[in-house]
Amino acid sequence: MTTPTPTTPTPTTPAPTTPAPSLRAALASTSAAASAEWIKLRSLRFTWFALLGAAALTVVFAVVVAASISASAANGYDVTASAAALAAQAVTVGQLPVLMVAVTVVTGEYADASIRLSLRQTPLRGQLLLAKTLVAAAAGFCAGVPLAVAGMVAARVVLGTADTTSWDEAWRTVLGIGGYLALVSALVLGIGAITRSTIVSVLVSLLLLLAAPLLAQMTRAGWLEAATTYLPSTAGTALTSPEGGAYGAGAALAVLAVWVLLAQLGGYVALWLRDA
């Protein structure tokens, strides 16, 4: 009878695990996706035509209003105006082509089915939406600053000595308009991700930014006028106006940020639930 020889247990090697992507890798991939989106946006002729249209609308509106004020001053009326305030009013009209550019960052790809290629290159849908949002917001800011300057200079030339703009007002207006268009571009991009349609997105954006405040003024309903205090257009006025509007710049940024967050959440859910 033989005695069994004890054997030494062989250690088992654990199966290799795929490491979770690091924050640095996530930032790098998001940056790469944003760079690709920026290149696509710059390569579209529509982008440049829309920005030229925005500049033309802003300058023409500022000149027309300033000319009316200047004519009143020439007729003996004691009137003054701020070129910064006129520029902020002019951007209300000039913003429309800029917002169309922001919307088409996402809806344009649904129109020609190139969204499928974008999703193959950036499979994480939240990351793709973030990249598009960053590009749209950057484009809005880069458009807003020169639009503010152009509107202010045009109004200043026409107003002449009737202009009361100070340097502090000028800087506040320029940065406020840039920040406003950046946030509203992110907002309308979220709407575009929800609707997938350029026309529907533009109509919803116009209703939210322009029609709703006018409707409240026409109906004079107290509850409706109170609700307009928290609309993006009211927050934009507070952010871009030298006088500060209904509330200060801090509250205006908070209101706009909430709208952007809601639109982005809706866009993410729509992008996640539906096929490309």
Does 48 score more than 80 pLDDT?
Answer: yes
Nearest to 83 by CA among 148, 179, 145, 175: 148
Per-domain residue ranges of the chain: 33-273
DSSP type of residue 4? P
Lowest mean pLDDT across 24-38, 131-145, 184-198, 233-247: 233-247
Angle separating helix axes 167-195 and 83-111, nearest 10 degrees = 20
201-256: per-residue pLDDT in tens? 999 999 888 887 777 777 776 777 777 788 998 898 888 876 666 788 889 999 99
147-197: per-residue pLDDT in tens? 999 999 999 999 888 888 888 889 999 999 999 999 999 999 999 999 999
Put residue 174 in one of left, alpha, beta given phi > 0 → left and psi -120 to 50 → alpha. alpha
Instruction: Report whether 41 contacts 108 (CB < 8 A).
Output: no
Q: Indicate the helix (H) or strand (E) that contains 179.
A: helix 167-195
* Residue 163 backbone dihedrals phi, psi, to 5 degrees: -80, 135
Instruction: Report whether 165 contacts 152 (CB < 8 A).
Output: yes
Q: Indicate the helix (H) or strand (E) that contains 103.
A: helix 83-111
- pLDDT confidence bin for 6, thresholds 50/70/90: low
CA contacts within 13 A on the Cβ side of 138: 14
First-to-last alpha carbon distance for the chain, in angstroms, is: 73
Mention every residue, 6+ apart, whose C-beta is less than 8 A from residue 55.
94, 146, 147, 150
Tokens of 71: 């004519």
